[in-house]
Structure 1
Amino acid sequence: MDQLSVFPATLTLIAINVAASIYGWLNQKFLLANLFHIEPIREKNEYHRLITSGFLHGGVFHLLINMFVLFQFGRFIEYQLGTLSFLFVYFAALLGGNLWALLENFRAPDYRALGASGATSGMILSFCLFQPFAMLLFFIIPMPAIVFGILFIGISTVLAQRENRIIGHEAHLGGAIAGLIATIVVAPRSLSIFSDQVARVLGGG
């Protein structure tokens, strides 16, 4: 109960993701009506998919990975920004990731995707602003968050250009950038926090 009172948005988003994903696995019609699908977005103006697809997942492992990232980073961001600002950043990242994917795949009507990866990518980059030298794992390699963030954006940019990709790296890229910008918008102090920490490390202070 203490966690719920301190991080209500993070835990509520996790609960919604879990419930919607399980319902989607049990109800194919619901899943197909709400996943990210270029053709109905483009031809039928089903723009709700830009949001609803971010609460659906392709399987248990996909769901667990995204919810683990949201739990780990979302609590920190919600504590730093407050609940309303945290929600703004989360949905900005979710929407930004899917809008980027829409632009990248606009001429591919059969393109489909789902998952909270765009939103969770935004959480990671938002965290990097506040804790640039916290150690994160890139696969199994520990590195400072600032290095992780740069690699994340760089690799997502490269992989998004590949054809026949299974993972929607363009949504990761768009979500990461949108989350970064949204954090700066609601908390301009994050730039000072970031620059002060970088200056201290570079200056040896």
Structure 2
Amino acid sequence: PAATLTESGQRVATEMSGDSSGGHMIELVGAAGATADVGHADSAGDDSDGSGLLNLLSDDIFVDEGKTIDVPAPPSSNTQDKDGPTCPSCKRQLPARAKICVRCGINVETGRQIITSQDTNLNEIYGIAEKTIWWISWVSWLGVYPIASEAFGLKKPIVIRTIAVVTILISGWFLWLELSFSDSMIRHKNLMLWSGDGEIDPDTLLAYYYGTGWGDTEAFDNQLELSADSDLNEDERILAAHNAIPKDRQAIGQFRASQLVTHAFLHGGIFHLLGNLLFLMVFGSRVNALIGPLLTVIVYPVLAIGAGLAHAMSCADQMASPMLGASGAIMGLAGMYFVFFPAHNVHVAAWWRWGIIRWFELSMTIFTVRGFWVVLFYIAFDVAFTIIGAEDGVAHWAHLGGFIVGIAVGVILLLARLVNARGGDLISVILGRRAWALLGRPGYAGDDE
């Protein structure tokens, strides 16, 4: 049987058993549902019928069954403390010297919410990072990469994990086709995002035919042989041979709307894939955990489309070329992360392998930094390389486009109150309590129910 002792609205409950030697913990259950262990209950003699001593609240105080004990109750939520501050959100009077309204989760002086962090197993993450970096540093001697985030979300990032698995499978399949020069690449090249309507460069065209499996090389060679005795120069012969081949057999693909999404599931190499997966899991999983699976399923292709359109517009006057990779969509997730979690810590690993100077010694450190600094650090490279017009084979405009779309989507979700970042979002960090008019008041601002 259960024994219940009541006083002032508080409850103390303990389960009784027939074991005369057993003991049970007593918990005080407060109005807010918090519990605190204050002692244990021992049974005396034959306790099978619930008789005897029920509870031991301290070393000196025993309470017999059925008796009422004096357990001081905390003040009710309506109790006024004239000396205490008033919560600016729920308008309740708080105890003297109170700095935080527990119910609303805010600092009563600033109106800013208390940031909730994700409890991560950092020891395990650090251990895996150190072992992985030891191997990777032999290929990439210098690196600065995020490895974990403390951003908090209530949902499991199932969608992002699924996207990661699907991306690995499709990218692996596509890489195999490309490296094996499979004839099917002539068709599957149109999974990449093709953009550009500028003049064709003959040398680049030759690289397309002989360096990839994108076009019908045999048909191209036959056309070149047919024009061998013509009056055309070398460049004109190359272009003529290309134009004589049916479009679906040419090494240059044709734009299709579906490519705005499919390109995000393809990668050009193992390190390209691994780098994107790292950012996807660090930033994307936290966004997924906050906004939930349904919104993530909708948002991810939107970010990929935004990144693809930005890239396509940036190279509209250039020769047609393909773009592939999830980095544009992932930078969109980073943009959303920037809006939702600017103040949360991100754990970053940095390393340098010295080479022959110090016998290939590895220097490595792992440190924490606010999320907005991490995101701005990486997007700054895209801004800089775009300004100087660098041609490094990286789709910087796709990164910038995805990032801008991600920021816009994040702000819209906050303003529409479809997402609650619990005061850790960019708007709340900047505006403080002035953000309540846009995002709603934190905690419970209404009357008790």
| TM norm structure 2 | 0.40
How far apart are residue 126 of structure 1 and its match? 1.0
Report whether the alignment pairs 1:194 with 2:426.
Answer: yes
Distance 2:268 2:255 in 1: 24
SS of the residue corresponding to residue 287 of structure 2 reads: helix
How far apart are residue 80 of structure 1 and its match? 0.9
Distance 2:346 2:410 in 1: 20
Residue among 147, 157, 160 paired with 2:373: 147
Residue by residue over 1:144-191, the C-alpha shift from the partner in whole angstroms, topping out at 9 and shown as x without a partner, is 222333444443223124142211111110011111111222332569
8 Å Cα contact 2:340-2:410 kept in structure 1: no
Residue by residue over 1:62-89, the C-alpha shift from the partner in whole angstroms, topping out at 9 and shown as x without a partner, is 1111111111222211121111212222
Q: Which has the higher contact order (CA 8 A, sep 6+)?
A: 1
8 Å Cα contact 1:36-1:114 kept in structure 2: yes
Residue among 160, 175, 189 paired with 1:32: 189
Distance 2:297 2:413 in 1: 11
2:290 corresponds to:
80
Paired AA for residue 6 in structure 1 = K
Report whether the alignment pairs 1:185 with 2:412.
Answer: yes
Distance 1:112 1:160 in 2: 18
> Alpha carbons of 1:95 and 1:138: their partners in 2 closer, same or farther (altered >3 Å)?
farther
How far apart are residue 197 of structure 1 and its match? 2.5
Distance 1:6 1:63 in 2: 23
SS of the residue corresponding to residue 112 of structure 1 reads: strand
Residue by residue over 1:86-142, the C-alpha shift from the partner in whole angstroms, topping out at 9 and shown as x without a partner, is 222222211111100000001113332210001111111211222212234678385
1:14 corresponds to:
164
> Which blocks of at least 5 consecutive residues in structure 2 are unaligned?
1-154, 179-184, 198-252, 351-366, 433-449
2:300 corresponds to:
90
Distance 1:44 1:72 in 2: 34
Paired AA for residue 156 in structure 2 = V
SS of the residue corresponding to residue 86 of structure 1 reads: helix
Counting helix residues as a fraction of each chain, which structure ranks higher? 1
Report whether the alignment pairs 1:172 with 2:172.
Answer: no
1:203 corresponds to:
none
Counting strand residues as a fraction of each chain, which structure ranks higher? 2
| TM norm structure 1 | 0.82
